[in-house]
Amino acid sequence: MQITCLPIPISSITPRTAPSVSSNHRRVFNFSSLQNPKHSSFFTLAFKSSPTGFKSPVLAVDMGSEEALLDDDDDAFYMRRCVELAKRGTGCTSPNPMVGCVIVKDGEIVGEGFHPKAGQPHAEVFALRDAGDLAENATAYVSLEPCNHYGRTPPCTEALIKAKVKRVVIGMVDPNPIVSSSGITRLTDAGIDVTVGVEEELCKKMNEGFIHRMLTGKPFLALRYSMSVNGCFLDKIGEGASDSGGYYSKLLQEYDAVILSSSLSDELSSISSQEEANVSIQPIQIIIANNAQQSPILASSNMVEDSGPKVVVFTKEDMFAESGTSSSGVETVVLENMNLDSILDYCYRRGLCSVLLDLRGDIKDLEGLLRDGFEQKLLQKIVVEVLPEWCVKDDERRVVSSMNWLESKAVENLQPKQLGGSVLLECYL
């Protein structure tokens, strides 16, 4: 096996490819020539050979143990458990990411935790508390690089060091510039072995909203609509989709806000992303009131929480003067011109990571925003439900075919999913 050694700075740690399901073990070799003069720690490179002969480089950071025998499958297994735990915070953590942590000692999980909500302790703190003294000399798996700064909670790096864990396995580097590999540096400086990039794609996908917000200063925006098998836009969602466990219900749980046409106001109070009897998570409902004939504030005026109103009506200056409607629990934002950029800026300032633009009801309310989304590249993802229907009605709201202002473009990573009687397609722009 030929091994090339390069002095790699921590900030450019090579991401690992998603591990395959195999029983290959990975040996980590030490090279004293890779000693980092700045951090006085040793970098170790390992190459995992696949059955096809492809060598996948993996970077681990080691403090000079003679030779460690690591198991990729175990690392991937525990990281997937971290992701499972992290997702228990779905819909509740913004502007923070979802994070899960598992403490493993002698092949057994001795502690687990996840970040439940912004302002509450991070996943590592809960997992270390769960493990107690057993955390000493254990391995901590965490889906996101541990924080190294004092925010609303003390840094998790210090908690891991204090607990005397031996090794930390990290799913992905934190895109937050405040963290940005300083957590890894702090841990290696303290003599802890660190491996980065295990099940990285899984960890990134879970927090695509958080990552996008952190890197661009805008919330992640997804478009959702339904269509018939012959490509007509349909103003409906599939049977059972909005029931608990249905895809639409899950989408509402995953996104911090949903943009709706004001013509759906009658449905607002029934929109629910409730997944479990004891958990009620509802996204902020953003109502676009472009039409003075409609009075948008309505069915959900009692929805107000500590974090701010759960219903926000965006309206234009002239229309607000006409209707003047407002009620408690509803915030009305008046814009000179209705545009997506202003709405997303509002969402960013409220700490929202992800927004769903739901094309239902009177599509004319939303057409301008849709256009902004494509033309200004504010849209990242599309979710399409294909219903088992052939549509022959000449419906002027066939938005999919009427967007003649839009240039053709390729989408990426198109993935289908079978949903009972319909098919869900997801792709990225």
* CB 415 to Zn ion: min, Å: 31
How many other β-carbons are positioned within 10 Å of the β-carbon of residue 163?
A: 23
CB 318 within 8 A of CB 287: no
**Cα–Cα dist 78/63, whole Å:** 23
Q: Are strands 284-289 and 220-227 parallel, antiparallel or unpaired?
A: unpaired
**Cα–Cα dist 170/22, whole Å:** 20
Per DSSP, what are the bridge partners of residue 305? 308
Query: Per the structure block, which two tokens stand in for 314?
Result: 């965006």
Q: Are strands 284-289 and 311-316 parallel, antiparallel or unpaired?
A: parallel
Query: Per the structure block, which two tokens stand in for 196?
Result: 């980065």
**Cα–Cα dist 32/42, whole Å:** 7
Amino acid identity for residue 300 in this structure? S
108 catalytic residue (yes or no): no
Give me the catalytic one of 66, 84, 108, 124.
Answer: 124
> In this complex, which beta carbon is closest to Zn ion, that of residue 101 or of residue 232?
101
What number of residues does the chain have?
A: 429
How many other β-carbons are positioned within 10 Å of the β-carbon of residue 307?
A: 12
Query: Per the structure block, which two tokens stand in for 17?
Result: 């490819």
* CB 126 to Zn ion: min, Å: 11
**Cα–Cα dist 183/145, whole Å:** 6
**Cα–Cα dist 337/199, whole Å:** 44
Give contact residues for Zn ion (rule: CB under 5 A): 122, 147, 156
**Cα 234 to the center of its chain, rounded Å:** 28
Amino acid identity for residue 346 in this structure? Y
- Taking Cα atoms as reference points, which of 71, 75, 96 lies closest to residue 86? 96
* CB 366 to Zn ion: min, Å: 38
Catalytic machinery residues: 124
